[in-house]
Chains A and B, each alone.
Chain A
Amino acid sequence: MSKIRKELKVSAIENGTVIDHIPTKSVFQVIRILNLNNIENQVLFSTNLDSKKYGKKGLIKVSGKYFKSEEVNKIALVAPTATLIEIKDYKVRLKKSVEIPKQIFKFVKCVNPNCITNYENITTKFDVSIEDNGDIKLWCKYCDKYTAKDNIVFI
């Protein structure tokens, strides 16, 4: 019974990408980071789905669109557990996990209130490093300051 209900909630797409295993609170951030709120394609999303592995999860389906790795890796900041499934003719063509990128451009704000990127029209640039406890830390290439994971604000 529960299997049928799940299929109803998550209808299949013919061609496109499924982003699965998104932490449920991060679904809207992922939509924004990938700019899915501004594209013509059909986008379906769900939050608070049951997940055996994580308890609850979010999921996004984008019809007729495949993502470049560097594009999708951006979401690793908010959804490190996400998996990417590419669908072609209703069949899984490729399945992969997101990877934390080495550098991040544009979509994160520097936490330093005195950083020049917060005053001028400048594309932000960060090197990504991973701390001993596994948390992500961003080093601003302009002001030399670190933005910790909890302070990450998306532009």
Chain B
Amino acid sequence: MKNRSLVSINDYTKKEWISLLDLAEEFEKNPRQKILENYVVATLFFEPSTRTRLSFESAATRLGAKIVGFTDSSSSSIKKGESLNDTILTVSNYSDIIVMRHPREGSARFASEISPIPIINAGDGANQHPTQTLLDLYSIRKTQGTLDNLNIVFIGDLKYGRTVHSLVIALCEFNTTFHLVSPFELKLPSHIKQHIKNNNLKYYQYTELNEVIPKADILYMTRIQKERFLDPIEYEKVKNAYVLKNSMLEKAKDNLKILHPLPRVNEITIDVDANPKAYYFQQALNGVYVRQALLASILGIK
């Protein structure tokens, strides 16, 4: 992975994902290692993202790296009309690796083509967010002991949720059985389902959440956003149908864990947080270890 950009989860092979997860495990045991002391990590956040940015900066700081960058484009020369091309070429002079989030889809791919230093995509519009996928895989493997042959239930906005798309594509490599729970308007797009079909895997679609819970090894919750609905009445009809409450978990398997890419709004009620099956905050912490593994691998230190 040395010097290779990560724009989409498919830029790396399954073998490389696994070696990153293994390395992340090492960092979980020993998160403070000053192995990047002579390195500068640029975090270019053309749109604000608190969690992802803090997670990357925490990962880099715990490895001893210095961080340069900006937290939204209004405080940078983009406001003066600088092109993405020029920003990337300039910042590449000041740093060893660039972590970027940008509102336009394809921006990270473009940056990786022109940049002399590697790019990590921390989200390009609704397109890709590969480090989220890696931390999701890490969380699944850690809680289940394996990535293979699991029943994974995706709930909520499966149409626009980029984390869902990338994770479904990645899980196609692990003989997953998919259970897809969403309102009709927010079903998983056909081009993503095609990946499942191409791998001859099973998938089931539901509009009701309750019946599927006892089958699940993982419940992957997502937020349904009001602005996704053309008709506000449709939103009102579905908004409460995909809320996970603690009482619904009575028939769940013992090994079930609940994941959520966060931020949560009301789709998981607060009473679930105390249930040992709730794993979303631990999942966010895992993101730090995975990003440490990624930085160390791409910079060629580990």
**A, B bound:** yes
**Which chain B residues border A115 with CB–CB below 8 Å?**
104-106
In the complex, are the beta carbons of A116 and B107 less than 8 A apart? yes
Q: Which residues of A contact B85 (CB under 8 A)?
A: 120-121
> Known contacts being A121-B85, A142-B109, is A116 close to B104, with CB within 8 Å?
yes
Check B110 against A116 for contact (C-beta < 8 Å): yes
Query: With an 8 A cutoff between CB atoms, is B126 at the interface?
Result: yes
Q: B103 an interface residue at 8 Å Cβ cutoff? A: yes
Bound complex: CA of A140 vs CA of B109, how far in Å?
A: 11
Residue of A nearest to B86 (CB): A120
Given A142-B110, A143-B127, A144-B8, A116-B105 contact (CB < 8 Å): yes
Known contacts A114-B125, A114-B126, A121-B85: A146-B105 contact under CB 8 Å: no
Residues of A within 8 A of B84 (CB): 116, 120
With an 8 A cutoff between CB atoms, is A93 at the interface? no
How many chain A residues have a CB neighbour from B under 8 Å? 17
| Residue A6 lies at the interface, judged by CB distance under 8 Å to chain B | no
A112 and B83 within 8 A (CB):
no
For the complex formed, measure the closest distance between the CB of A65 and the CB atoms of chain B, giving whole angstroms: 33
Min CB distance B160 to A, Å, is 12
Q: Which residues of A contact B105 (CB under 8 A)?
A: 112, 114-116, 142-145
Q: Decide if A102 is an interface residue (CB 8 Å cutoff).
A: no
B82 CB, nearest partner CB in chain A, Å: 11
Contact check: which of A110, A141, A146 meets B191 at CB < 8 Å? A146
Knowing A120-B83, A120-B84, A146-B191 are in contact, say whether A141-B104 is a contact too (CB < 8 A).
no
Main secondary structure of the interface of A (DSSP, over half): loop
Q: Which residues of A are found within 8 Å of B8, using beta-carbon distances?
A: 144
A residues 112-151 in Cβ contact with B at 8 Å: 112, 114-117, 119-122, 140-146
Tell whether, in the assembled complex, residue B110 and residue A121 are in contact, meaning their CB atoms are under 8 Å apart.
no
Contacts of B104 in A (CB 8 A): 114-116, 119, 143
Complex CA gap A112/B104 in Å reads 10
A116 touches B106 (CB 8 A): yes
Number of interface residues of B (CB under 8 A): 18
Q: Collect the chain B residues with CB atoms within 8 Å of residue A120's CB.
A: 83-85, 110
Complex CA gap A103/B81 in Å reads 32
Give the CA-CA distance A141 to B110 in the complex, in Å: 9
Provide the residues of chain B in CB contact with A116, threshold 8 Å.
Answer: 84, 102, 104-107, 109-110, 124
- Check: B128 CB closer than 8 A to any chain A CB: yes
Q: What chain A residues lie within 8 Å of B191 (beta carbons)?
A: 146
A18 to chain B, nearest CB (A): 39
Flag if A144 contacts B106 (CB, 8 Å): yes
Tell whether, in the assembled complex, residue A121 and residue B106 are in contact, meaning their CB atoms are under 8 Å apart. no
A117 to B84: give the CA distance in the assembly, Å: 11
Task: Report how far A146 CA is from B127 CA in the complex, Å.
Answer: 12
**Quick one: closest A residue to B111, CB to CB?**
A116
With a CB–CB cut-off of 8 A, which chain A residues contact B83?
A: 120-121
Bound form: Cα–Cα A122–B109 in Å: 11
Contact residues, B67-124 vs A (CB, 8 A): 83-85, 102-107, 109-110, 124
> Are A122 and B110 in contact, CB atoms less than 8 angstroms apart?
yes
CB A79 to nearest CB in B, in angstroms, measures 28
- Note all chain A residues with C-beta closer than 8 A to B128: 144
Q: Write 8 A-B pairs (CB below 8 A) sorted by A numbering.
A: A112-B105, A116-B106, A116-B110, A117-B110, A120-B83, A142-B110, A143-B109, A144-B127
B residues apposed to A, CB below 8 Å: 8, 83-85, 102-107, 109-110, 124-128, 191
Q: Which residues of A contact B (CB under 8 A)?
A: 110, 112, 114-117, 119-122, 140-146
